[in-house]
Amino acid sequence: MFRISEDHEALREAVRAVARDKIAPYAAEVDQAARFPQEAYDALVATDFHAPHVPEQYGGAGADALATCIVIEEVARVCATSSLIPGCNKLGSLPLMLGGSEELKRRYLTPLARGTAAFSYGLSEREAGSDTASMTTRATPDGDGWILNGQKSWITNAGFSEYYTVLAVTDPDGRRGANVSAFVVEKSDAGFSFGAKERKLGIKGSPTRELHFDNVRLPADRMIGAPGEGLKIALRTLDHTRVTIGAQAVGIAQGALDCALDYVKERTQFGKRIAEFQGIQFMLAEMAMTLEAARQLVYAAAAKSERDDPDLPFFGAAAKCYASDVAMRVTTDAVQLLGGYGYTQDFPAERMMRDAKITQIYEGTNQIQRIVMARQLLAQGRAPLVAPTALPR
């Protein structure tokens, strides 16, 4: 049978304790006030859970893909907003790990590992969401550097993060998709500014803002990889980080199921606890069954991410797509099980339902995930298989 390692289980218990004691007490207020979860950030930095994926040679914990997913899952179980701290840090810095020079990695991954800087990811634009290759942000050669102009939209933790991986067209006449390059932009760079915070349905404590670039001068050594490799690096990044969105979705769903279980075991109607009614039991069984299927798919995808398997694009898309759909159903059912109380802010179920929705949208809508999976199927002529050794034992 599949079994994750004792080290991973020990990690889960450690993260769960931090989440329970240091993050959960602030989750409702962070959502209500739409403020950054500073208490969670401080607690995660203190325990090296804020960016666990950073390799040890740069001062990081060197966590593997599954360990990182477990961190995100356990934090999301109590606060989806706070789970975006390790999630966004991985998304923003992974392009650097995949394609950056050694000097660039040392310069930016080291402060990330220390917790003195956070990382965000700038790919989407107002008119270039799913169609990333249609971006209009431009980086123009200028002496020994580049001049960056344009904007990026829907950027997680914008304004809080110190560093940003930004994709821009560097060859307007080049082949579409092969004319984009990636750069590191620093918050302090002249001409770099932020739009107003978006007013969102969920994950309210994580600031989502536009990035604005007005003649931002970047040294040549800020480029990640070679000219024209940006979009390739960006899409390869998403193959890996979509797995973490699946982990976030699993965590949100688990938190909602926990809430529902606690409630139905206490609530009485018609002289008995509502947990004794078969209709309620069927709902709980369905919630738990689909949640566990989502968790196993996420863990299998995490193992493939760690090995960088050739079928990762399918499994990353599948894990993100299925787990987020499950999270939406489970959180909605949790609200239903709580009845009128589920519709109030007295219980976390309504917050979790609102938070779950974004997992179906960001890092590629679930419609795009189905396109990714279908292309893999058509290219291979058969569905990828999960080998018996797909998960750590």
Q: What gap in Å lies between CA 381 and CA 315, rounded to an integer? A: 16
Beta carbons of 205 and 279 less than 8 angstroms apart: no
pLDDT tens for each residue of 150-163: 999 999 999 999 99
Q: Kindly report the average pLDDT of the chain as a whole number.
A: 96
Is residue 101 over pLDDT 50? Answer: yes
Beta carbons of 265 and 275 less than 8 angstroms apart: yes
pLDDT tens for each residue of 319-365: 999 999 999 999 999 999 999 999 999 999 999 999 999 999 999 99
pLDDT tens for each residue of 314-328: 999 999 999 999 999
Which helix (H) or strand (E) segment is 259 a member of? helix 230-264
- Which residue reads 């390739």 in tokens? 232
| Better-scored residue on pLDDT, 219 or 391 | 219
Characterise 50 by phi-psi region: left (phi > 0), alpha (psi -120 to 50), beta (else): alpha
- Confidence at residue 306, expressed as pLDDT on a 0 to 100 scale: 97
With a CB cutoff of 8 Å and minimum separation 6, the contacts of 175 are: none
**Which residues of the chain are in CATH 1.10.540.10 domains?**
6-114
Is residue 366 over pLDDT 80? Answer: yes
Beta carbons of 314 and 373 less than 8 angstroms apart: yes
User: Which of 73, 125, 350, 363 is an active site residue?
Assistant: 363
- The residue-averaged pLDDT of 178-184 equals 97
- 6-114 has which fold? Butyryl-Coa Dehydrogenase, subunit A; domain 1 (1.10.540)
Does residue 149 sit in helix, strand or coil? Answer: strand
This prediction has a pTM of 0.96
Phi, psi of 177 (to 5 degrees): 90, -25
- Confidence at residue 390, expressed as pLDDT on a 0 to 100 scale: 45
> 287-308: string of b/e by CB count within 10 Å (b at 16+)?
bbebbeebbbbbbbbbbbbbee
**Which residues of the chain are in CATH 1.20.140.10 domains?**
231-380
**Which residues of the chain are in CATH 2.40.110.10 domains?**
119-228
Indicate the CATH number of 231-380 among 1.20.140.10, 3.40.50.620, 3.40.120.10, 1.10.540.10. Answer: 1.20.140.10
Is 363 marked active-site?
yes
> 173-193: string of b/e by CB count within 10 Å (b at 16+)?
eeeeeebbbbbbbebebeebb
- What CATH code is assigned to 119-228? 2.40.110.10
Q: What gap in Å lies between CA 79 and CA 83, rounded to an integer? A: 7
